[in-house]
Amino acid sequence: MKANKLLDAQGLNCPLPVLKARKMLKDIPEGAVLEVLATDPGSVKDFQAFCRQTGNQLLQSTETNGVYSFFIKHSE
């Protein structure tokens, strides 16, 4: 999957990855895709809840070697 922007939030703990993603989503156009990389296992549930609450679309969520990758489509 291809993203328009990348946020590397590896090493940050909850709630920082979500807060940084929220800020970055405000700076990209509607319909653009943000990829977030995180290492906090709690980020899986955090990003699911974040997308439900904000109306952004979680397109994909994967984990490889302890790195979680989230593809979020910006919706308003």
14 tagged catalytic: yes
CA distances from 21 to 61, 71 (A): 14, 11
Catalytic one of 14, 24, 32, 58 = 14
β 57-64/33-38 pair status: unpaired
Active site residues: 14
